[in-house]
């Protein structure tokens, strides 16, 4: 899998298996998500942004936190949960395997 400096909203949405509108919504709800925008308003996400989005997704979907609860967890526990890191690694592995399968 190629490592890039910036990812488009479509690429990040595909990585996380969410709609781009969910990413835009999370951006308004969590101050820590600040993708770079060009003059046209096109968002570019960094690896750091993607890790924060994975954490938000993990807290809200896997752990069942509300948005307020997830904000509190992000504020009080800045270090990622080891389970979340494992989940992120498995998702990256899955993406790699799907890409590999498509190239066969």
- Answer whether residue 32 is part of any domain: yes
Per residue in 31-81, pLDDT tens?
889 999 999 989 999 998 999 999 999 899 988 999 999 999 888 876 666
Evaluate whether 70 touches 56 at the Cβ level (below 8 Å): yes
CA distance 75 to 98: 35
> pLDDT higher for 74 or 83?
74
What pLDDT, on a 0 to 100 scale, did the predictor assign at position 1? 47
- Answer whether residue 1 is part of any domain: no
- Answer whether residue 2 is part of any domain: no
Determine the structural domain holding residue 19 and report its residue range. Answer: 7-103
CA atoms within 13 A on the CB side of 99: 10
- Answer whether residue 69 is part of any domain: yes
CATH number, residue 43: 1.10.1660.10
pTM across the whole model: 0.71
- Per the structure, the count of domains in the chain is 1
């Amino acid at each position: 899998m190629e490592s890039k400096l910036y990812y488009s909203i479509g690429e990040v949405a595909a990585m996380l298996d969410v709609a781009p509108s969910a990413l835009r919504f999370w951006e308004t709800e969590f101050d820590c998500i600040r993708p770079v925008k060009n003059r046209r308003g096109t968002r570019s996400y960094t690896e750091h942004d993607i890790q924060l989005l994975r954490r938000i997704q993990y807290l809200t979907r896997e752990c069942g936190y509300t948005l307020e609860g997830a904000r509190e967890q992000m504020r009080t526990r800045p270090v990622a949960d080891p389970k979340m890191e494992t989940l992120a690694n498995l998702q990256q592995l899955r993406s790699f395997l799907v890409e590999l399968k498509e190239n066969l």
